[in-house]
Structure 1
Amino acid sequence: MRLLKPSKGLIGVDITSATVKLLELKQCNDNYQVESYAVRPLREGAVVERRIRDMNDVANVLSRAVEHAKPSTRKAAVAVPASAAITKTLQFPISLSEDEIEERIIAESDRHIPFPFSEVAFDFHCLGPAPFDEEQQQVILVACRQQGVSQLTETLERAGLEPAAVDVETFAMERSLAELHRQLNVDSDPNACVGLVDIGANMNAFHVVRGGHIVYSRDTVFGGRQLTDAIRDHYSLSNEEAGFAKKYGGLPDDYHEKVLNPFLETVVQQVGRSLQLYYTAARQHEVQHIVLAGGSSVIPGLAERISEDSGMSVTIANPFQRMRVNKRLNIEALTNDAPAMLTAGGLAMRVGL
């Protein structure tokens, strides 16, 4: 079956191993307005490696997030992990219509998709004429298992939302990154390379973005939860107490030296290693700027340490900086949560497509 398409007014829903995040955008002329948003923690084990293990628990948390956010629409977009999707660029005669392209993809599915077509959800987008053959057109094909799509859409429905679009996390992030690129001063070059360091609860993802697309990625199993665990172990706290202290402070004087600095040093080393591996992979385009994203990107001192080590300017992500914000929202809270909202924001940006 084809992946779902969006309608007007949209909520982006991002389900990770640690949190459920939702953000609603409306189209306002050539810009967006943030209408509502919410972030709610998930029980450990409810989502493992971006896959839902306890649908009831996730749906209940999402339902509470919806109740808190009070969105003006129930239409929602969600994304499958990039690791669960297959993306290919195909070529077809320029004369073929979209219906004819769909028929060809179905007929030739065994050439492009490595699992039975009866189990597949797919979509495609025509990119225009092929660069070296005007009689051919390029088409990007995205496919994943229907089971993964059904699990996500059912979770939305159980939370009282209406599935309006299913995307891939990579594409959602690229939309947010396009908005971030407009905020950066990178020699006004649309093809300038930007490094994105996304520090989640369990994973540290490094991406290089060029021309609006992610051209290199590297994941490391290390994230903000390691800092929470270090606080818990060093000060004999519960997980909840450690998480609260990490976010709101109040720890003893030796916190920076004994706990925080070793964590920051590990993150800085990982960023340096990721840059080194990017250049070793024969990548010719130099990274000119680094953007920090994820819930742990706002840890005091991290941006400065990475900038000092890399020699580059570092920005903490806020894809909503240029957008209007509904007056009922707390702008300070939205700004604090914004670095972790790239996927949710990118999904909601489909309202303008």
Structure 2
Amino acid sequence: MRFVMERMRLRMWRSGNLSPRRLFAGNRPGGNQRDGKRRRPGLVGIDIGATRVALVELEADGEGCRVCAFGIEPYAATRTAKNSNDPPIADAAAVGGAIAKLAKRARPRARRAAVAVSGAAVVCQVIELDSSYTDEEVASQIEVDADRLLPFPLADAAIDFEVGDLSPSDPAMAQVLLAACPQTELQRCSAALALGGFRPAIVDVRVLAMRRALAGIWPAGGECTALLELRRDAVTMALFAGAADVPLQCREDATDTRPGFAEDAGVETVRQRLSRLLHLQVASARESPARFLVAGEPTLTDATLDMLQQQTSADIEVVQPFADMTVSKRLDAEALGAAAPELLAACGLAMRRFDA
């Protein structure tokens, strides 16, 4: 199943008000960045991790695109709370400072940014609803079913959905991609971006952004593919059926992954997390992946590929999302290639510039 992303809208329920905005998705760029006489506005993909921020800016280049800015900036955030009874929250100033420092070094042209939400607080699933429903009726039905669908109160939720294809098991039903997260996640991202000198324009789901960045190199055919991301704060594995845009299943082994909370785990901890995810995948009785596409910090991918090869017979490939793109003459192409696996999510976010 593939979703037509350009119809997607954000529905934010807060105090009973419905506020539609553009959110999520988009396909691999093609054509020129001018649509008639209207020039597509610039957009920077900023991936806010628990211990670092990453940035990518793309522009149209004939039928493909060109990398015109990139970079990665680590940071060490402090933890603050209003009082001793409140849970600690990340220091947005530290994240914003890292973004500002990275922007000064990378020199992107645009100040509009696309960011992503991820982790246990994010809901991303396909549900089935009556195919005759209008967008307003879909929104109303999600609101009715919120207690069943969402792990947090509806009043605190930012919700988006996209109506896709008809259900293969019941033509009277349509498949609907539902994505939601707490409003506080959006507020945290917005605050950090503002402090870094950027204006939030688009919010995406991180695993969908990574999948989008691989659209041009995704394995053909109907085999199950696992997208594996290795970071010091978390290891994530998402299973995709064939060419699907939405994962069948997404698991993450991590400590608290909010910015500034994660421990800086060593290689052995990352290997242990990966091993647990692989065992869970086998125990779940899901279809075994025919291929693993590996992203994340280069030092971690190098240190874990041997273990992955020992525990699976699947094909293994370290991703290179910029392989089919040109690179601006002012950039270090070799450094971009070395950092590419860690820039996967930022690349997928930057590609939102080319949304229809």
Aligned position for 1:198: 229
For residues 69 and 203 of structure 1, the distance between their equivalents in structure 2, rounded to whole angstroms, comes to 26
| Identity across matched positions, percent | 29
SS at match of 2:290: strand
Could you say which residue in structure 1 is the equivalent of 2:8? none
Equivalent residues in 2 for 1:1-353 (5 A)?
1=12, 2=19, 4-5=21-22, 8-28=41-61, 30-43=63-76, 45=78, 53-106=90-143, 109-110=146-147, 112-181=149-218, 188-189=220-221, 191-211=222-242, 212=244, 213-221=246-254, 225-227=264-266, 263=267, 271=274, 274-283=277-286, 285-297=287-299, 300=302, 302-304=304-306, 306-307=308-309, 310-353=312-355
User: CA 1:64/1:3 → structure 2, altered by over 3 Å: closer, same or farther?
Assistant: farther
C-alpha separation in 1, matches of 2:304 and 2:229: 12
Cα distance change of structure 1 residues 195 and 123 upon mapping to structure 2, 3 Å threshold: closer
- Alignment length, in residue pairs? 307
Name the amino acid aligned to 2:52: T
User: What SS does the corresponding residue of 1:66 show, helix, strand or coil?
Assistant: helix
CA distance 1:9–1:313, change in 2 (3 Å): same
Deviations 1:97-143 (A, max 9, x none): 32443344345545543544332211110113222333332222222
CA displacement 1:236-263 (0-9 Å, x = unmatched): xxxxxxxxxxxxxxxxxxxxxxxxxxx5
Q: State the distance in 1 between where 2:77 and 2:97 align.
A: 14
CA contact (8 A) 2:158 2:181 kept: yes
Letter aligned with residue 196 of structure 1: L
Partner of 1:258: none
Residue aligning to 1:250: none
C-alpha displacement of 1:225: 4.2
d(CA) in 2 for partners of 1:30, 1:176: 16
Distance verdict in 2 for CA 1:3–1:168, change over 3 Å? farther
Asked if the contact 1:3–1:122 (Cα under 8 Å) also holds between the matched residues in 2, the reply is: no
What are structure 1's unaligned runs of at least 5 residues?
Answer: 183-187, 228-262
**Secondary structure at the residue paired with 1:38?**
strand
Quote the Cα distance in structure 2 between the aligned partners of 1:214 and 1:90. 13
- Give the Cα–Cα distance (whole angstroms) in 2 for the partners of residues 73 and 80 of structure 1: 21
* Cα 1:337–1:92 shift into 2, 3 Å: same
Q: In structure 1, what is the Cα distance between the partners aligned to 2:128 and 2:300?
A: 43
- 2:48 and 2:131 map into 1 onto residues whose CA distance is 39
Structure 1 residues 144 and 196: alpha-carbon distance in aligned structure 2, compared to 1, 3 A threshold: closer
Identify the structure with the greater helix proportion.
1
In structure 2, give the amino acid aligned to 1:122: I
Give the root-mean-square deviation of aligned CA atoms. Answer: 3.1
- 1:280 deviates by 2.5
Q: Secondary structure at the match of 1:320?
A: coil
Contiguous gaps of at least 5 residues in structure 2: 1-11, 13-18, 24-39, 81-87, 256-261
Segment of structure 1 superposing worse, 268-277 or 192-201 = 268-277
CA distance in 1, matches of 2:20, 2:189: 12
Task: Give the Å deviation of 1:156.
Answer: 1.1
Which residue matches 2:5?
none
